[in-house]
């Protein structure tokens, strides 16, 4: 058994519950300020079909045409160093109880350059 770990699948200010958008969604347990970094959603790994491993945070964020968050591609993380990944940041203040949403495109696997077009679709 692992003891004394600081890792959590989600930040303390988020939870998963039934979504009016689709299935389960990610919700704010407390108000989230604009610009808040919610964390990593995906980590790059060539061995996977779409070259990314989806993390718990990325598994429950639903799409919305007018999102309250954005996904950003990054090459480095301030705590773990050089690692290609996608993270989510709040675009505006998000009230307690609100669902976390981003605007994204599903099934870009046929296009080898999908990740470079990702931000343009938001």
pLDDT by residue for the chain (122 residues), tens only, comes to 455 556 677 888 999 999 999 899 999 999 999 999 999 888 888 888 778 888 888 889 988 889 999 988 888 888 778 888 889 999 999 999 999 999 876 555 455 554 555 443 33
pLDDT of residue 77: 80
Has domain 14-121 been given CATH number 3.40.50.970?
no
Residues in the chain: 122
pLDDT of residue 105: 66
pLDDT of residue 80: 78
Q: What is the largest CA-CA distance in the chain?
A: 44
Rounded Cα gap, residues 26 and 15, in angstroms: 6
pLDDT of residue 48: 80
Rounded Cα gap, residues 67 and 32, in angstroms: 14
**Whole-model pTM over 0.85:** no
pLDDT of residue 41: 87
37, 89 in Cβ contact below 8 A? yes
């Amino acid at each position: 058994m692992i003891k004394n770990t600081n890792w959590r699948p989600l930040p303390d200010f988020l939870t998963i519950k039934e979504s009016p958008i689709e299935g389960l969604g990610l919700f704010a347990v407390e108000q989230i300020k604009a610009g808040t970094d919610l964390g990593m959603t995906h980590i790059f790994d060539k061995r996977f079909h779409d070259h990314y491993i989806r993390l718990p945070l990325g598994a429950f964020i639903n799409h919305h045409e007018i999102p309250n968050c954005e996904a950003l591609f990054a090459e480095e993380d301030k705590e773990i160093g050089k690692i290609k990944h996608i993270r989510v940041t709040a675009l505006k203040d998000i009230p307690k109880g609100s669902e976390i949403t981003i605007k994204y495109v599903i099934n870009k696997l046929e296009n080898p350059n999908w990740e470079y077009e990702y931000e343009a679709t938001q």
